[in-house]
Structure 1
Amino acid sequence: MARKSGSQLLAANVHDTLRQKILTLEIKPGSRLVEDDISESLGVGRTPVREALLRLQGEGFVSRGKGWVVAEIDPSEVPLIFESRLAIEGYATRLAAERRADEVVERLEALADQMDQFADLSRAELNRLDRRFHELIVEASGNSFFHEMHERTQYNYWNLRLPVLFTREQVEVSNAQHRDLIAAIAAQEADRAEALARGHISTTMTIVLDALSGF
């Protein structure tokens, strides 16, 4: 395997830094990205910054017109986002069950315990716990490509420009589905785990699409 040059390594580091800032909303959709400002803040030249931005453009995170801009989410893309989640998370959950690890099951149970206390949590905190729950399952698949693709679908989902609020009953159903998922993974029931994951995501998709139809 060819060794990366210093310039390629710098560009990769810049890419990873910017990508993470976009994923975590430190840099929000619609924000302008100025090459000189990024170069100065990261202490690198403009070439690796430009290479990193071009890579982010290819991944759909930024666009370029009169300068670089973090891409905003088009609500019409929501069904496509959920289709991606169904494909990625469904199979990732199957693999997580097949490759079951006690530590993963324990961490999933701890997250489920926290989400059961949703009445005392802010919506932002509940979202964070839910996101981590699904991330952990994808990570447990052992497939790094799934993890990278899943990050993108989660970024898109939580950055919708329209408000989607879940009722108490909907949150309770979601939490119950989480428990079923944990049980299937713990029992290494791969078929059931995959089916439950797909059912869970389909339930969420219906809620989101119904909410967005009112806008």
Structure 2
Amino acid sequence: MNTPRPSAQDVYDRLRELILSFELYPGSRVTESALAERFGVSRTPVREALQRLASEGHVTVLPKQGVLIRQLDAAELAQHYRVRVVLELAVLADVCANASDADLRALAADWDPQTQPGRSDDFAVMAARDETFHRRLAELGGNRVMAQLLEQVGHHIRAVRRLDFTLNDRVERTYEEHHAIAQCLLARDLRGARRLLRRHIENSRRVASAVSLEQLRRVRAAALGEPG
């Protein structure tokens, strides 16, 4: 029985993971043909996957030169974080107006620092959980367009968001901060929730601004089991 070849979606998923885990290093160059050989597919699904990744800002397609894995630009990241703050603060008003007490209690319980459900030592898993919290806020607010915009911003900061959870205390602090935000929302304390959320995003932004290629190199080496 023949094993089906990976689809364009499969190639996209695997390529994005290689980029986010820094196995494809920022600033490195790859080619469609090399990727096609790596995944055992034709160049067509690779090209489709790269087009999606380019639209999300993960790669730059250079005609006749290959594909460049995007460098992390500190100034650009800061701009994405500024947009994120504006959008998420607006989301909180919708959450206070529309979310049920039951949904907010469930959200708070999911981030209870005493029990820490779903906690993992895998920084990629925790980054995904963090994204889920913020996406859930947008869903509870009921504004689908806002949720889509936040998803787009999330694509641009996902790599450094993962690095946030390589620091020693960030998992514990994230549980505490998420839980406190949910509790404020349950009390319909919009001002308090906005203050806490702004501080929470600012903590994440500071990590992003401190990211260096040397830090990325160490994270990549750890992921691959290489000497630091």
Report the TM-score when normalising by structure 2.
Answer: 0.61
The aligned amino acid for 1:199 is: R
Q: Return the alpha-carbon distance in structure 2 between the equivalents of residues 115 and 158 of structure 1.
A: 27
What is the alpha-carbon distance in structure 2 between the residues aligned to residue 114 and residue 24 of structure 1?
31
Gaps of 5+ in 1: 1-13
How far the C-alpha of 1:141 sits from its partner, in A, is 2.2
Q: How do 1:10-25 and structure 2 match up within 5 A? A: 17=9, 21=13, 25=17
User: What per-residue deviation string (whole Å, max 9, x for no partner) do you get for residues 79-119 of structure 1?
Assistant: 2232122112121122122211245314412420378538x
- How far does residue 63 in structure 1 lie from its aligned partner after superposition? 2.1
Letter in 2 for 1:204: S
Distance of 2:210 and 2:179 partners within structure 1: 25
SS at match of 1:113: coil
Normalising by structure 1, we get a TM-score of: 0.64
Q: CA deviation at 1:177?
A: 2.0
- 1:5 aligns with none
Aligned positions of 1:33-52 closer than 5 A: 34=32
Aligned pair in 2 of structure 1 residues 138, 26: CA closer, same or farther (>3 Å)? Answer: farther
In the superposition, relative to structure 1, how do residues 150 and 21 fare at CA in structure 2: closer, same or farther (>3 Å)?
farther
The question of whether the paired residues in 2 share the 8 Å contact of 1:177 and 1:196 is answered with yes
Give the secondary structure class of the aligned counterpart of 2:176.
helix
Partner of 1:167: 168
CA distance in 1, matches of 2:131, 2:41: 28
Aligned to 2:60: 63
Task: Report how far residue 136 of structure 1 moved.
Answer: 0.8
CA distance in 2, matches of 1:23, 1:108: 32
The CA distance in 1 between the partners of 2:74 and 2:80, in whole Å, is: 10
CA contact (8 A) 1:19 1:56 kept: no
Q: Distance between the aligned counterparts of 1:23 and 1:133, measured in 2?
A: 25
How much does 1:210 deviate?
A: 4.6
Shift in CA distance, 32/144, structure 1 to aligned 2, threshold 3 Å: farther
List alignment gaps of at least 5 residues for structure 2: 1-7, 216-228
**Cα RMSD (Å) of the superposition?**
4.3
SS at the partner of 1:63? strand
3-state SS of paired residue (1:160): helix
175 and 152 in structure 1: CA distance in 2 versus 1, 3 angstrom threshold: same
2:176 aligned partner: 176
Shift of 1:166: 2.5
How far, CA to CA, are the matches of 2:68 and 2:75 in structure 1?
20
Give the Cα–Cα distance (whole angstroms) in 2 for the partners of residues 55 and 24 of structure 1: 10
SS of structure 1 residue aligned to 2:17: coil
Measure, in 2, the Cα distance between the counterparts of 1:213 and 1:159.
12
C-alpha offsets along residues 17-72 of structure 1, whole Å, 9 cap, x if unaligned? 5897389626657585749x6xxx999xx6x9978866764553442213455645
Cα distance in structure 1, aligned partners of 2:108 and 2:162: 31
Number of residue pairs matched by the alignment: 195
Query: 1:7: which partner in 2?
Result: none
User: AA paired with 1:64?
Assistant: V
- Between the aligned partners of 2:142 and 2:15, the Cα distance in structure 1 is 21
